[in-house]
Amino acid sequence: MSILGQFLGSVIKQGTIAVHHPDGSVEQFGSAADGYPDVAVRLADKGVMRQILLDPRLGAAEAFMDGRLILEKGDIMALIQLLRANRKWERGGRLKEPGPVKLIKDRIAGRLDGLNNQRRSKANVAHHYDLSRDLYELFLDEDMQYSCAYWTSPDNTLEQAQLDKKAHIAAKLDLHAGQKVLDIGCGWGGTALYLNRKFDVEVLGITLSEEQLAVAQERAEKAGVSDRVKFELIDYRDLAERDAGHFDRIVSIGMFEHVGAPNFPTFFRSAANLMTDDGVMLLHTIGRMGKPGTTDAFTRKYIFPGGYIPALSETLEASEPYRLIATDIETLRLHYALTLREWYKRTQANREKIIAMYDERFYRMWTFYLAGATAAFESGGMCNYQIQFSRNRHSLPLTRDYLGEVEQKLRE
């Protein structure tokens, strides 16, 4: 049995995988089981196994991207799902005390992942978000929401789920006409335009992506609201120096993952200073279930350089010195998995267009990214957190009833 076979044999118990080696031999592992994929892969040359063993995630990703790890049965989503589902994060069993060396190692590595000053932050954002607008239009919803949707039913369309996400977040902001709202990491402007349209609030959206800025400004002009919904290319740290105490509400969706753990305190200090004394903020972020960790090599190299997914503990700890009250915390466990599967399906449907825009290697990289992220939310340690903060204990209604009431009106 090969070294790779020994690993697969120890992991794959449910579902099956067949590995076709360059010499024509075949190794098979696992047994058929409901809900688990059946996969067959072919290694194009002897170097593929060595590459995977040296760095399993990055090695497998690059071998797949280069067309040397070939799917004979199933696709990359099925392969990654099979591996992850056989080693679920919540797999049960007796729990052990983590060793102090590993805890320290993870903490140091996590902080190195996120050393993002202003110049580096802009470069990191450009790496991912300044890709062609045409690419994102192929797999996102019509409002170009590039973050976890909110699925009131798994049978909903992606468009409905993203609309429900905006309603869910808007309810938590407790908005009132005439308020000034800051959208940190505003994407292509969809949320800012939605909040203005539904609540008659003024919105400033900030981003470090020149591509997203151009689209957002174009959309505001087209909607005739560019005097009340403005967008700016500026770092949140610089804005905090300029506009302290200016905003009644702050929303940040899918941006905190790019802040980096060393900058968490700066982020929360900036947010607190940007708010009025009775301000409210809604932070929507991918998060880790459990303790802090590290960013994997594939994601760090190809997808989100400088990115780091925070644990709830380190997020709240960073907010505590700045008198931000965590008034509501919600964990979205499976919503991003549903979102990512829809993005993956749409990416597959537009394969030829994406290859024409970039090339085959880029297409394989993108599908590996979406498949890996899906598995992380279905079987790994990833989730989404929505954390509502307030600077004043009297700012929000006494009970949570208002959330459902506002959300229902928005949906109607």
Instruction: Please tell me the predicted confidence (pLDDT) of residue 1.
Output: 84
Choice among 23-27, 96-100, 190-194, 212-216 with the minimum mean pLDDT = 96-100
Pairing mode, strands 247-253 and 275-288: parallel
* pLDDT exceeds cutoff 80 at 102: no
Q: Tens digits of per-residue pLDDT, 341-396? A: 999 999 999 999 999 999 999 999 999 999 999 999 999 999 999 999 999 999 99
Superfamily grouping for domain 117-411: Vaccinia Virus protein VP39 (3.40.50.150)
Local structure of residue 308 (DSSP, 8 states) = -
Two tokens at 126?
Answer: 């450009």
Chain-centroid distance of CA 403 in Å reads 24
The conformational region for residue 4 under phi > 0 = left, psi -120 to 50 = alpha, else beta, is alpha
CA separation, residue 72 to residues 39, 42, 155 (Å): 8, 7, 30
Structure confidence at residue 384 (pLDDT): 98
Categorize the per-residue pLDDT at 154 as very low, low, confident or very high, splitting at 50, 70 and 90.
very high
Q: What is the pLDDT of residue 33?
A: 96
91 CB-contact burial (10 Å; exposed 0-12 / middle 13-18 / buried 19+): exposed
pLDDT of residue 105: 58
Structural domain spans, the chain: 3-85, 117-411
81, pLDDT greater than 70:
yes
